[in-house]
Structure 1
Amino acid sequence: MIQGDLKVAAPIRWAMVGGGRGSQIGYIHRCAALRDNSFQLVAGAFDIDPERGREFGQALRVAPERCYPDYQTLFAEEAKRPDGIQAVSIATPNGTHYAICQAALEAGLHVVCEKPLCFSVEEAEVLHDLAERQNRFVGVTYGYAGHQLIRQAREMIAAGELGEIRMVHMQFAHGFHSEAVEAANPSTRWRVDPKHAGPSYVLGDLATHPFYIVEAMLPELRISRLLCARQSFVTSRAPLEDNAYVLMEYEGGVMGHLWASAVNAGSMHGQKVRVIGSRASLEWWDERPNQLRYEVQGEPVRLLERGMDYLYPEAREDDRIGSGHPEGLFEAWANLYARFALAMEAMDCGDTGAIETLAVPDIHAGVEGVRWVAHCVRSAEAGGVWVDYH
């Protein structure tokens, strides 16, 4: 079921804040947004250095007069144009997200924001309420959730193929920061600085990805309480953690466990999600994202492959190249951006029903990620105790 047709009536006029030359995440945003002709990059404030940002924007074929020195000028000047931007992506360090997202929403723009949306639950709720008042869509780039087999897992669980859900195990534990690499790498240094990264390192930077994937697979799960212990094995990173363990109790008795680490020496990426039911289990590993491991008690293990006819139709809606061909991170992000475009178009048309069917990480997912990190930090700072989740 290869989907090659256009998804929106006209490309959304789009800008970026950040994501300039040398930015890995900026490149991923652009590749994903432009892949389906759902967005058109027409403006931006690409760099904290205005000249460098203007030169880079022109290299992307953005008109010189629409390469702005900062986001404030970008929003103000584009609002004056009849062909001004309709949406903006925010690809800047964490500490800037709240102010830029707030300004974008106040300017009447749809937003795609890197996580976290902000550092506090109070700020997250301000953005949530503002997005609702402005009737604007906010998407959060939990990019791994765009892989097709995440949706397959969601449909299998909803159909009862695993039986009663008992446990969810999550991890994102790589080894690339097992030493103090930030000493020689500015792009890593800000991630371990509370002023720029917020109240956590691996909990916010890594753990929120599998946390959202479980939310996408099991949208009805609600946490009742959690316990978190975090460590700074590279001591110069304290008070931010480079390793953490979280236990969660969900309403209805489901138990959850999450391990987040940047010091899992030897591990390439180490992001896995396992959902365990009374009859069967599912496991997805982002290093082999085109396969979903399906284990029925007493039967041989099955590996479900992306793009195959036996998958649920919902899992094949994002199919780009047919079965057998491996898809990766860029396709996953492009799937999310295609859904973001549909959500923006639907919101502009007042079609809220269409948005609810898209299963995208929206403002609610962004708020929940901030809320979860805040509770983890609260538990850890109290000595690793159970805290109620509200």
Structure 2
Amino acid sequence: MLNGEKKIARPLRWGMVGGGRLGQVGYKHRIGALRDNTAFQLVAGAFDIDPERGKDFGVNLGVEENRCYPDYRTMFAEEAKREDGLEVVSIATPNGTHYEITKAALEAGLHVICEKPLFFTSVEGEEIKQLAEQQGKIVGVTYGFSGNQLLLQMRAMIEQGKIGDIRMVELQYTHGFSATDEADKFSDAQKWRVDPKIAGPTFVLGDLSTHTYYMSQLIMPNMKIKKLLCDRQSFISSRAPLEDNAYVMMHYENGAVGRLWTSSVDAGCMDGHRIRIVGSKASLEWWDSKPNELRYEVQGEPIQTLIRAMPYLDESCNADERLGALHMEGLSESWSNIYLKFAIAMDAKNRGDEETVKNLVYPDIDAGIDGIRWIENCVRSAENGSTWVDYADQPALNLN
């Protein structure tokens, strides 16, 4: 159980690029980083493309005015001059900026926490991985749902053989908030998501389902995709070539099959985020709308509902719980869990403790690259007429 006691010697000095007053995701980062005030301390930021608005916002967060910078390059340069300068930066900006900011941060000697999808191509991902290794730094990816403890319970039960051999994987992340083009016209956060120059080669595949794909790999680390087929649509035609709905069929190397549905035009849907793993003996199912419950369905037996934080759960699951079984947890605790693991990984890296870094389960640079590669294969299939493609380390997409 987590109770706020320090897991590292001192809080890491942390800053943000983006995540300002008008952003949708910045507060989630701050909830995650600052929930355990023993892990990170917010000391600087380049919060907004508008420098004055960013400064006003940062001061209202309690950041010193002279450490609210007009842009990330100025922040990295000025913080490097300070004995108490930044150690870690989070990047909460549109997709098309992730690569250049991450590279600049690593070159400035900073650990990085970056929004997903990490970059446009896996080639960029491999380049940044090499740079991070050279610099001795951690790159984490904010797959914010992946800190839900019951996902680790699913992982443990599968490893223990509780559901038998995996046969089918059902993944879904849908909502209906883009069922019309209204948000495309009036929401700054939506406008860039449907612009391929900024968002990259996908909309909902990158924005939504990379979360769910990573969660499936977290739950089933030994399940590798052999081939896939992606069929994607732009029901709001102005979004083309980016999709607002997609289906992905997957064949795994062990003979299992998978299906993923992702959509922002699932009209009326508030929260369609679901993972179901079907084995030869039993099935496991988790819904984001009921994150404290895990359904365990053994063939021929009554359905069981496992509840977060109960003593019958695996130790790996309960190690991350915060409030006790009587009180509900959700997305804010999930973000807090992954941010705490980022801090533990960064502290271990600083101390040369590679064993801790190796054994820690969290969304790292490899998870980010894997997500990019999954998108690349999905786009390759869709652009080839929604045909089956062998899942491999394919050349980067030509985005020109």
**Which TM class, normalised by the smaller chain length?**
over 0.9
SS of structure 2 residue aligned to 1:376: helix
- Matching of residues 49-88 of structure 1 within 5 Å: 49-88=50-89
SS of structure 2 residue aligned to 1:323: coil
Does residue 253 of structure 2 align to residue 251 of structure 1? Answer: yes
CA RMSD across the alignment: 0.9
CA displacement at 1:250 relative to structure 2:
1.3
SS of structure 2 residue aligned to 1:268: coil
Counterpart in the other structure of 1:191:
193
CA displacement at 1:161 relative to structure 2:
0.4
Counterpart in the other structure of 1:30:
30
The C-alpha deviation readout for 1:192-225, integer Å capped at 9, x for no partner, is 1101110000100011111000110011111111
CA displacement at 1:368 relative to structure 2:
0.6
State whether residues 165 and 254 of structure 1, in contact with CA within 8 Å, keep that contact through their aligned partners in structure 2.
yes
CA displacement at 1:24 relative to structure 2:
2.6
| Aligned pairs, number | 390
- Matching of residues 1-390 of structure 1 within 5 Å: 1-37=1-37, 38-181=39-182, 182-390=184-392
The C-alpha deviation readout for 1:124-180, integer Å capped at 9, x for no partner, is 111111111111111100010101101111111111101011111101011111111
Structure-1 separation of matches of 2:180 and 2:198: 20
Letter in 1 for 2:332: F
CA displacement at 1:22 relative to structure 2:
2.7
CA displacement at 1:122 relative to structure 2:
1.2
State whether residues 271 and 287 of structure 1, in contact with CA within 8 Å, keep that contact through their aligned partners in structure 2.
yes
CA displacement at 1:227 relative to structure 2:
0.7
Structure-1 separation of matches of 2:293 and 2:22: 31
Structure-1 separation of matches of 2:11 and 2:64: 17
Letter in 1 for 2:52: E
The C-alpha deviation readout for 1:238-270, integer Å capped at 9, x for no partner, is 110000011111112121111110111111120
Letter in 2 for 1:301: I
Letter in 2 for 1:149: L
CA displacement at 1:2 relative to structure 2:
4.8
CA displacement at 1:356 relative to structure 2:
2.6
Structure-2 separation of matches of 1:186 and 1:66: 26
Counterpart in the other structure of 2:398:
none
CA displacement at 1:46 relative to structure 2:
0.5
The C-alpha deviation readout for 1:244-298, integer Å capped at 9, x for no partner, is 0111111121211111101111111201011111000000100110101100000
Structure-2 separation of matches of 1:111 and 1:243: 31
Structure-2 separation of matches of 1:133 and 1:269: 41
CA distance 1:63–1:2, change in 2 (3 Å): closer
CA displacement at 1:79 relative to structure 2:
0.9
CA displacement at 1:4 relative to structure 2:
3.4
Structure-2 separation of matches of 1:62 and 1:279: 54
Structure-2 separation of matches of 1:208 and 1:136: 24
Between 64-73 and 3-12, report the one with greater CA deviation: 3-12
Between 2-11 and 131-140, report the one with greater CA deviation: 2-11
Letter in 2 for 1:245: Y
TM-score in terms of structure 1 length: 0.98
Structure-1 separation of matches of 2:258 and 2:129: 27
Structure-1 separation of matches of 2:24 and 2:11: 24
State whether residues 7 and 36 of structure 1, in contact with CA within 8 Å, keep that contact through their aligned partners in structure 2.
no
SS of structure 2 residue aligned to 1:24: coil
Structure-2 separation of matches of 1:80 and 1:249: 52
Flag structure 2 segments of 5+ consecutive residues without an equivalent.
Answer: 393-400
SS of structure 2 residue aligned to 1:284: strand
Flag structure 1 segments of 5+ consecutive residues without an equivalent.
Answer: none
SS of structure 1 residue aligned to 2:25: helix
Letter in 1 for 2:214: Y
CA distance 1:111–1:2, change in 2 (3 Å): closer
